[in-house]
Amino acid sequence: MTQKQKLIAGNWKMNGSLEANAALLQALREGVGQPACAVAVAVPAPYLAQVQSLVAGSPIALGAQDVSQHAAGAFTGEMSTAMLRDFGVRYVLVGHSERRQYHGETDVVVAAKAGQALAAGITPVVCVGETLEEREAGQTEVVVRRQLAAVIEASGGAVADMVVAYEPVWAIGTGRTATPEQAQAVHAVLRAQLAAATERAAHVPLLYGGSMNAANAAQLLAQPDIDGGLVGGASLKAADFLQIIAATQTVQA
């Protein structure tokens, strides 16, 4: 059986500068070689043009961190999928918990954003995950299923063309990681939900995100339904990000 290629995507969040980006990408390009997995970096919007040229000819794909739910028009401060396409963007994060939490993004808005991306041929990385309160109340499954259901419904049958990232909110930027077993349990729920929507559910990359680092990546990535990682803090350090990328090789060997 051939194994599906994993995906390691970095989320730089609101970090970077022209100088820092150039240094980080140079180190990544030098260290990445021919990776066993797909690699992407989701960068702040003002740096899309810079990073587009810095990753050109490398195995590193360009990602954005957000996109408008609208196609064009009077939406000050927003950016459309067409604009992202102009810069060669391949992936866009939608529904990151920081967008849901600080910018009031609802399941409906997130689903509309994913729909825009799919229609434009950009792969949405749909983020789902429960808060600590929801986990402690035994609501994890209900919450992630609700978040994913909204996106499946709006996907226009293109479910298999997206990436889903399970990111428990309590594990993001906290140094507190879900155990491989906790993460796998939720990934299995998501896989089953996808399987009810598409025959190609096994091909939908399910990423884990939440304090993934060089030390814990291999164990997480060894789980049967964990197809990669969405990496925040550790993606800003070339050595750490490269080690996470290298961990997919160990798992796939």
Q: What is the 3-state secondary structure (H, E, C) of the chain?
A: CCCCCCEEEEECCCCCCHHHHHHHHHHHHHHHCCCCCEEEEEECHHHHHHHHHHHCCCCEEEEECCCCCCCCCCCCCCCCHHHHHHCCCCEEEECCHHHHHHHCCCHHHHHHHHHHHHHHCCEEEEEECCCHHHHHCCCHHHHHHHHHHHHHHHCCCCHHHCEEEECCHHHCCCCCCCCHHHHHHHHHHHHHHHHCCCCCHHHCCEEEECCCCCCCHHHHHCCCCCCEEEECHHHHCHHHHHHHHHHHHHHHC
Among 173, 192, 195, 200, binds ligand PEP (CB under 6 A): 173
- The distance of closest approach from Cβ of residue 172 to ligand PEP in the complex, given in angstroms and rounded to an integer, is 4
- The distance of closest approach from Cβ of residue 98 to ligand PEP in the complex, given in angstroms and rounded to an integer, is 7
Q: Give yes or no for residue 230 binding ligand PEP (CB under 6 A).
A: yes
Q: Give yes or no for residue 209 binding ligand PEP (CB under 6 A).
A: yes
**Minimal CA–CA distance to 212: which of 189, 241, 253, 250?**
241
Q: What are phi and psi of 128, to 5 degrees?
A: -130, 155
Per the annotation, the verdict on 167 as an active-site residue is yes
Token pair, residue 19, equals 């100088």
Q: Give yes or no for residue 231 binding ligand PEP (CB under 6 A).
A: yes
Contact 115, 161 (CB under 8 A): no
Residue with tokens 């997130």: 110
Of 96, 105, 130, 187, the catalytic one is 96
Site map for ligand PEP, 139-168, x if CB under 6 A?
----------------------------x-
Q: Give yes or no for residue 233 binding ligand PEP (CB under 6 A).
A: yes
Nearer to ligand PEP, 197 or 227 (CB): 227
Nearer to ligand PEP, 33 or 173 (CB): 173
Q: Give yes or no for residue 125 binding ligand PEP (CB under 6 A).
A: no
Q: Give yes or no for residue 129 binding ligand PEP (CB under 6 A).
A: no
Nearer to ligand PEP, 92 or 197 (CB): 92
Nearer to ligand PEP, 197 or 209 (CB): 209
Among 69, 117, 232, 245, binds ligand PEP (CB under 6 A): 232
Per the annotation, the verdict on 96 as an active-site residue is yes
Among 39, 62, 212, 242, binds ligand PEP (CB under 6 A): 212
- The distance of closest approach from Cβ of residue 57 to ligand PEP in the complex, given in angstroms and rounded to an integer, is 27
Of 141, 167, 181, 187, the catalytic one is 167
Phi-psi category of residue 95: left, alpha or beta, with phi > 0 → left and psi -120 to 50 → alpha: left
Q: Give yes or no for residue 11 binding ligand PEP (CB under 6 A).
A: yes
Contacting residues toward ligand PEP, per CB under 6 A: 11, 13, 167, 172-173, 209-212, 230-234
**Could you give the residue numbers annotated as active site?**
96, 167
